[in-house]
Amino acid sequence: MGKKIDITRERYGSLVAIKEVTQIGTKRRYLCQCDCGNTITARMESLRSGNTKSCGCIKPENVSKANLNDLTGKRFGKLTVIKRSQEKQNAGHSFWECVCDCGNTTVVDGSNLVSGNTKSCGCIWRKNNK
């Protein structure tokens, strides 16, 4: 077996590993300090792989970017944004009317477009699940 890796004082996104705290099975966990001031416990492999980059404070930033940017005319997967939706609104979120390559129109949360979570009107999923 190789030498045990110590990631104390290493930076992962907005997090700095402070100390190893618990191990559940083979999953090592570290107490981490976020740049925003919060502390969290995170799995070492999630830090090292880049899956965990903050205490969660970065997610609102991504939503804000989707709210501030005009997505009109931009393409996300099979969707092309037509305009900002007036019919569907939610505090802190921008919704966008999109046309899919299949011809359907749909209204999508801007943060789902920007993050890549929504790439079609659902036609890809329906086609793959027939």
Strand partners, 83: 97
At residue 48, φ and ψ (nearest 5 deg) are: -70, -30
| pLDDT tens for each residue of 71-97 | 899 999 999 999 988 776 665 678 899
* Nearest-angstrom CA–CA distance, 130 and 127: 6
Q: Which residue in this structure is represented by tokens 């019919």?
A: 87
> Helix, strand, coil: what percent of the chain each, to 5?
20, 35, 40
Q: What is the per-residue pLDDT for 39?
A: 93
Give the model confidence (pLDDT) of 44-60 as tens digits: 999 999 888 888 876 65
Quick check: helix, strand or coil at residue 68?
Answer: helix
DSSP character for 90?
Answer: B
